[in-house]
Amino acid sequence: MQTTPKSWSTIVTLTTQITQDTSHEEFSFEEVGILTRTQNALYIRYTEHQQNLETPVTFKISQIDAVLLHRHNDFTDMQLHFVPNKTFQTQYVTSQGNIPIAVRTDSFVNQITADHPYGQLAITYSLLNNDSIIGTYALNLSIAKAN
């Protein structure tokens, strides 16, 4: 018998640090999201608001150590797959065309599970194009109960 997915409102806090060559940027967001628990994964969905642009974001956290991040808006579409010590090929889709990139997960700490859907997810990763590093990223996701 398959269980029915359960969804509830949550507070999502995301901080991303980006280093490209010698430049460093940091972005932080706090948004209300929806957390959905299925038999095999947790889904965290929210809309990021930045510079008058709304970007739907989905994190899929599997029961195994795997996270899928999907971000898309009218201008870009990106799906990043994170598994400890693995590299995955993907496409960064832009209005100017597709850019082939690789996502290498450098570190991975996940406290968010189906049994414990609130907590922290910390991932550092590198984006590569033709084996050259485009940038290094530190992603910190916090999920908290909404009041």
Q: What's the pLDDT tens digit per position in 79-111?
A: 999 999 899 999 988 888 898 999 999 999 999
pTM of the full predicted structure?
A: 0.89
Name the CATH superfamily housing domain 6-145.
Calycin beta-barrel core domain (2.40.128.20)
Q: What share of the chain is helix, strand, coil (3-state, %, to 5)?
A: 0, 75, 25
Is residue 9 over pLDDT 60?
yes
Side-chain half-sphere CA neighbours of 85 within 13 A: 0
| pLDDT score for 73 | 84
pLDDT for residue 146: 83
Predicted pLDDT at 3: 58
61 closest CA partner among 144, 118, 3, 17: 118
Domains of the chain by residue range: 6-145
Could you list the beta-strand ranges (E) of 38-129: 41-50, 53-62, 67-72, 76-82, 87-94, 97-110, 119-129
Question: Which amino acid is it at 12?
Answer: V
CA gap 125, 136 in Å, rounded? 6
pLDDT (average), residues 120-140: 94
The string of pLDDT tens digits covering residues 23-78 is 999 999 999 999 999 888 999 999 998 878 899 999 999 877 899 999 988 888 89
What's the pLDDT tens digit per position in 31-44?
A: 999 999 988 899 99
Residues 6+ apart with CB under 8 A from 52: none
